[in-house]
Chain A
């Protein structure tokens, strides 16, 4: 059994590590690119949302490299189409003539699932624990690294220094994984980050990113949004991440707190991260951010539902707001233009705010 899974931005190496340590023969997914997106959307149902097409594109390239089993995750708490991804993808692959099997890793019986994996791969509990420890520690490191780089980007002396470190880490992580040299790589990355020279006391604009979790966190499908905004001189704040997802799955009271905050605008969940987007926007207003970028796949059900509410907040609080719907037709140049225009609006807003004070 050779397994693969959909590509998910910077988290891909962490997921690879998890499955490898669990004893699977993993074929890591290729980085999403325009060709794979095009191929994926060719086979997928036209009116389905964009991430499904991206996933199918990833599968096709992995299947050609010898994978025969795909791990896909069904989120039982979600109300949106994500629930049916694995079953639709199975149908798409069957129709396209591939004999791969998609295994749905949902969260309904985690312990049972792990026991099954233990049995198949004949590994000990210690190894299971180690696998989870390793992957979670690498996820935490990646998220810290992303945060730090987002902080450094607008402040660095020579543009691109922080990103070079980020690239260094992700270029070498595969090699390090094979040689068990992850700790060394982490240390090197940390040292490199420390060496990035920054301009102190720089007037920095703060921008929040929110929306659909895959589009927000996958740096390929959103055309490196964070990097682009960062290099335009904005400090990017992003709440949505894998750990955010897991945290909210484990602690339902966090949703309760969010609901309390968004109550004047929205009185129930709308599935996906719709409510979270409203919540994050309100937090951004409260924290005094200079702008908000809302990013979603075209016709995403939860995000499209809450978009009028976000626009209302934008009109009420006068905070700059940009909503980007992406699909396989969008070109990078168009996004670049819109972001540049947005950065001008943010700059004006920022200066105006400071003059008033």
Chain B
């Protein structure tokens, strides 16, 4: 039996497509992941989707159509809440229902609510449909979790490596399904590297380690409006997981950058070479949104405000199925010129 996993949206979200791939393979099933996004996938997705749907959803439907006929069933989990009880984008809730309208292949749609159930329990439940041997399922889950750990480590190492580099740094704010999909973001990393910039993905910036503890000690208790209004916070009390994650990561990188710029002022007279801390200074920030992304229309307001308050140059880009690479190149060149 072959299981298809579309390489879009939930593939890039936690626990990640790599986890599901190793998990299904560990149970002795064949797994087919749709190819990296290309022109054909985007075109067929845009055709099958509602015209006002967001670009990322269109890409997702394109991937689903790509798998149609090649696999026995397609795996589209229904992502509801993360371990802190924060919700995913509401479009994730209905992905499997919408996909079922355009394809005939059966869909596996487990409900994923990390607030209620741990990943092991969910995976165990899914595994029971395909495999009678609980030992084997558990082994498969372990293998998958190693994959998650590997990914996290890789991200962290890449972050430290990039921060140590001598090139100017730009942080790219977006959702993982845009950050890591090279067709969707039009190869922005290569373009910026060619322009002599180091691109840091917002996803790589480590979040606070004690986040889970925080949720247990009542962070999620609903604040009254006075508490929110008087608290001089830069962002609202998010109920979306990416909102909370991204604003926290942005806050962190801005803090590092501010520390770095202070250090430079002090050490400027004595040393000719830049001090190691001043390397951490942020030269600019770019946010990429998928066209018609409802969540980003909220998020952008706060991300933009945070960067602009600290006088960090900010560029906002929208991508959709008609975006041309040449246009992006021009805008990036102009942006890099303003940084110098």
Residues of chain A whose beta carbon lies under 8 Å from any beta carbon of chain B = 45, 47-49, 74, 76, 79-81, 83-84, 87-88, 91, 101, 103-106, 108-109, 112, 265-272, 274, 298-302, 304-309, 312, 325
Sampled A-B contacts (10; CB under 8 Å): A47-B289, A79-B93, A266-B94, A267-B109, A268-B94, A298-B52, A299-B292, A304-B50, A306-B94, A309-B101
Q: What chain A residues lie within 8 Å of B292 (beta carbons)?
A: 47, 299
In the docked arrangement, what's the CA distance between A321 and B224, Å?
42
Q: Counting CB contacts under 8 A, is B276 at the interface?
A: no
Closest residue to B53 on the A side, CB-wise? A304
**B90 and A270 contact, CB distance less than 8 A:** yes
Q: Counting CB contacts under 8 A, is B147 at the interface?
A: no
Q: What chain A residues lie within 8 Å of B301 (beta carbons)?
A: 45, 88, 91
- Among A48, A83, A106, A300, point to the contact of B225 (Cβ < 8 A): A106
Given the known A-B contacts A45-B297, A47-B297, A267-B109, are A109 and B80 also in contact in the complex, defined by CB atoms under 8 Å?
Answer: no
Report the interface size for chain B: residues with CB under 8 A from the other chain.
37
Given the known A-B contacts A88-B301, A104-B228, are A305 and B101 also in contact in the complex, defined by CB atoms under 8 Å?
Answer: no
- Cβ-Cβ contact count across A and B, 8 Å cutoff: 100
Q: What chain B residues lie within 8 Å of A299 (beta carbons)?
A: 52, 54, 292, 294
Given the known A-B contacts A91-B301, A106-B225, A304-B50, are A79 and B87 also in contact in the complex, defined by CB atoms under 8 Å?
Answer: yes
How many whole Å from A151's CB to the nearest CB in chain B?
Answer: 33
- Among A81, A270, A325, point to the contact of B52 (Cβ < 8 A): A325
**B294 and A81 contact, CB distance less than 8 A:** yes
How many whole Å from A37's CB to the nearest CB in chain B?
Answer: 18
**A267 and B97 contact, CB distance less than 8 A:** yes
**A80 and B98 contact, CB distance less than 8 A:** no
- Among A74, A267, A308, A325, point to the contact of B78 (Cβ < 8 A): A267
Given the known A-B contacts A106-B225, A266-B94, A325-B52, are A88 and B101 also in contact in the complex, defined by CB atoms under 8 Å?
Answer: no
**Additional A-B contacts beyond A305-B94, A308-B50 (12; CB < 8 A):** A79-B87, A79-B239, A81-B297, A103-B225, A104-B225, A108-B224, A267-B96, A268-B93, A301-B90, A302-B90, A304-B53, A305-B90
In the docked arrangement, what's the CA distance between A117 and B104, Å?
57
**A309 and B236 contact, CB distance less than 8 A:** no
In the docked arrangement, what's the CA distance between A245 and B223, Å?
23
